[in-house]
Structure 1
């Protein structure tokens, strides 16, 4: 059975797209892990609590988890969080 050039090109394009998506997922996962570290350090929490806080902030601000994670990772460097993120983080930490 032979595969035509068009089929090979389609398969290559599909695989390249999949690789791009996997690379993005790895980067997102790393940023989220870093943000959990910032949250657990800031709030003196366990890692599972940090994950819960991060999800809660994302839900209460209606912001994608990856965006919240990026903001929180940058926070120690720039000393600033968007107001809505800061309020949601403080509230989530207060609730535990």
Structure 2
């Protein structure tokens, strides 16, 4: 094999490696975007539950989710999933239920 042919093969191997790395990066990004879409949909459903059950606006529903999430130090998507499960008949953990009621009460008392 000539020096030129060997150099060409190394270049092709390098290009292939770069392409494979890019494919892996894109796969990871795709997985993250799919998770973000799923989390967003769950948060939207939880807001809908709060709107329907508490008679509040969607903006207030999001604010309540955010506040409870921060007070309990749990991810917004985890909190939203719990609220959606509760709407389907599951119980809420006592700590979450208490914080949700406290936040709703605080918000109702604020003009």
Query: Given the two structures, how large is their TM-score scaled by the length of structure 2?
Result: 0.81
Query: What is aligned with 2:15?
Result: 4
Query: What is aligned with 2:92?
Result: 81
Count of paired positions: 95
Q: Deviations over 1:14-42 (max 9, x none)?
A: 01110000000000000000000111111
Hey, which bits of structure 1, 4+ residues long, moved more than 4 A? none
Q: 1:25 aligns with which of 25, 31, 36?
A: 36
Alpha-carbon shift at residue 78 of structure 1 (Å): 2.3
User: Which structure: larger Rg?
Assistant: 2
Query: Please, what is the CA RMSD of the aligned residues?
Result: 1.2
Query: What is aligned with 1:59?
Result: 70
Unaligned stretches of 5+ in structure 2? 1-11
Query: What is aligned with 2:58?
Result: 47
Unaligned stretches of 5+ in structure 1? none
Higher relative contact order (CA 8 A, sep 6+): 1
Q: Deviations over 1:34-59 (max 9, x none)?
A: 00011111110011000001111111
